[in-house]
Structures are given as structure tokens and as C-alpha cells.
Amino acid sequence: MISPRASEPSPEQGDLFEDRGPCYGPGTPQQDMGDGNLEGLSDKDLVEKTAKATLSNVDLLCAMIVERGLGDIAVPGLVALWNRFKGFGIATPLPEQKLALETLSVIGNEAAKKEISKILAAQDLPDSLLPFVLQAAVSVGLNLPQAQILPWLEHDAPTVRAQAFTLIQSSNPQRSTLEIGFSDPDPSVRRAALTAAGNLGHTSARAGLLAEFRKNPTSQTIQALLSIADDDITVEIGRYALENPPHQALIASEFEELDTPKTQKLAQRINDQMKQR
């Protein structure tokens, strides 16, 4: 989430943003030096100022958009902010670029999803920005064409591969496509592939998800594993819940949805224990 007062690392700014990496587009973003009283801005003025944000105020402006719960009205300003920095951040993404994407993903409405999809489809998107745009796509639950996602499953960057396996779940790919990720050398990619496969009901992910659960029981792993759990795994997860409070509510809820005599009994035991705390 965006912190209203969080500060991004601030590179020295010189002529033509020289420390921000090479530029392949014409011109450079123009700076708006007069911050004035940002807190007193109307919603309309806040959005307009965000479109012209500088390194010194972009964090606060984006945080204010989130704090005010601005939706459709804020999207054009954030897109304008993103577009101002086209051609920059080729070596390293800029704070302005990351904050524009992050704020769009927090807004997460249809207008924001549409703009994130456009950014992702742009032919001139620098490879350095791809993980950040994909993360925004994951955050808003973007449904992308499977043909667009498939090349990212073989990308050199593990972050991109992991995000691609998360995104491809919505297109219901063939089991064999997901199983490619089960043997990926990077653990985050393996987890993403196993989780997607489990959520889609592929029992081939059962052993891998069980190993992940025993090693690091996250909510995503638990939900995916319960989608394909046999009786032994169900009992193991139930025992875990009774001994470990952090995921009790989630597991009880999942057991209730499974609606079998065994899961209903386990859900009742977990709920009773939570009431006693």
C-alpha cells in the first residue's frame, strides 16, 4: 500500500534526468515547482497536480488520491503521469512510474484495469518495467489473453515467470502448461505454478503444494491445497489450524465451503477454539 509520507530513494536530478537511465523518447518531463498547500487541494486540482508531479511531491500526491478514495476521476491524471515518463527508466524504473502503477492498482476499478492493460500491451514497454506492470495486473486481477501471457512463462526474470503463472490461471490453461513451472529452478515460480494448478483442481500439484504448506503455510498455499486435498491432507490442515492461530479463520471458512461431514466437524472445532480465545 502507498504510505502518505513514505519516501522513495531520490536520485540526483540534473539536466534531462541524466541519472535516470537513457531516454528513447522525445523531450523530458517538465517540473512543476510550486507545491503550495497540497492538503487544501480540491479533488480536481489534486488530480491535475498529480499529472504534473515531480520527484519531491509524487509520493504525497498519490497517497492523497488513495486516502480520498478517488476512483475514475483520478485515472486520467495517473495515466498522464505515466505517459510523461515514457522513454525513461530503461535501466531502472523511476519512483514516478512505480507510484503511478501502484496507485492505479490500488484504485483497481474498470478504468484502472483498462489502462494497466494498455500499458502492458505497449510495444515500447521497457523490460525493466515489466515486473512492475505485471504486479499491477496481478493486483487488480486482470484477465489477459493466454497468448499474451505464454511468452512470459519463459522469461529470464523469475519475478516475471511467477507473475505470469499467477495471471494465466484466469485463462484456464492446459495442465501441461502449468506443470512446466513445477520444476522451475526458482522457488517463487514453483509456488506460483503449483498454486495456479491447485486452484484449477489439478491433483498433480498436490504433493508440491503439501511440501510448500509444510515449509511455509501461506493463505494462498492453503487455499490451493484445500482445493485438491484428500482426507489425510484435510486432517493435517485441520490439526495445523488448531495449533496455529494465524490461519484459523481462513481454514475454518474454507472447510465450511467444502461442506463435507469431516470438514464441517473440523470447522466447528476451529471455530469453538477461536471463540475461547
For the segment 67-78, what is each residue's pLDDT rounded down to a tens digit? 999 999 999 999
All three cell numbers of 9: 530513494
Looking at residue 223, its pLDDT comes to 98
Contact 204, 225 (CB under 8 A): no
**Does residue 272 form part of some domain?**
no
pLDDT averaged over every residue in the chain: 89
Quickly tell me which residue has 490453461 as its cell.
173
- Please state the rounded mean pLDDT for residues 253-262: 95
**What region, left, alpha or beta, does residue 190 occupy, with left being phi > 0 and alpha being psi -120 to 50 degrees?**
alpha
Q: Is residue 161 part of a domain?
A: no
pTM for this entry: 0.82
In a domain, 90, yes or no: yes
Q: How far apart are CA 135 and CA 73, in angstroms?
A: 23
Question: How far apart are alpha carbons 66 and 36 in whole angstroms?
Answer: 20
Q: What is the pLDDT of residue 39?
A: 82
What are the grid coordinates assigned to 158, written together?
A: 523469475
Q: CB neighbours of 119 closer than 8 A, spacing ≥ 6?
A: 82, 101, 125, 133, 136
**pLDDT tens figures, 2-23:** 544 333 333 333 332 334 444 4
Distance in angstroms between the alpha carbons of the first and the last residue of the chain: 30
Residue 256 confidence class, pLDDT cut points 50, 70, 90: very high
pLDDT the model gives residue 36: 59
pLDDT, position 37: 75
> What is the extent of the structural domain holding 45?
1-138
Domain count, the chain: 1
Assess whether pLDDT exceeds 60 at residue 88. yes
Residue 97 lies in a domain: yes
How would you label 93-116 residue by residue, b for 16+ Cβ within 10 Å and e otherwise?
bbbbbbbbbbbbbbbbeebbbebb
pLDDT in tens, 231-248: 999 999 999 999 999 999
Give 98's pLDDT tier (boundaries 50, 70, 90).
very high
Whole-angstrom Cα distance, residue 12 to residue 248? Answer: 48
Q: Mean per-residue pLDDT for 148-165?
A: 98
Q: Is residue 27 part of a domain?
A: yes
Specify if 180 maps to a domain: no
As to burial, measured by CB atoms within 10 angstroms (0-12 exposed, 13-18 middle, 19+ buried), residue 216 is exposed
> HSE on the CB side for 262, CA within 13 Å?
12
**Which whole-number Å values give the CA distances from 185 to 4, 164, 193, in the listed order?**
38, 15, 12
* Lowest-confidence region among 14-18, 91-95, 198-202, 214-218: 14-18
- What is the average per-residue pLDDT within 212-240? 97
Report how far residue 24's alpha carbon sits from residue 176's, in angstroms, rounded to the nearest whole number.
39
User: In this predicted structure, what is the pLDDT of residue 2?
Assistant: 57
Q: What is the rounded distance in angstroms from the CA atom of residue 26 to the CA atom of residue 236?
A: 60
Residue 172 or residue 39, greater confidence: 172
Q: What is the pLDDT of residue 85?
A: 94
Residues 39, 19: Cα–Cα separation, whole Å: 30
Task: For residue 38, name the pLDDT band (cuts at 50, 70, 90).
Answer: confident
Specify the pLDDT at position 59.
96
The reply to whether 225 falls in a domain is no
Do the domain assignments include residue 31?
yes
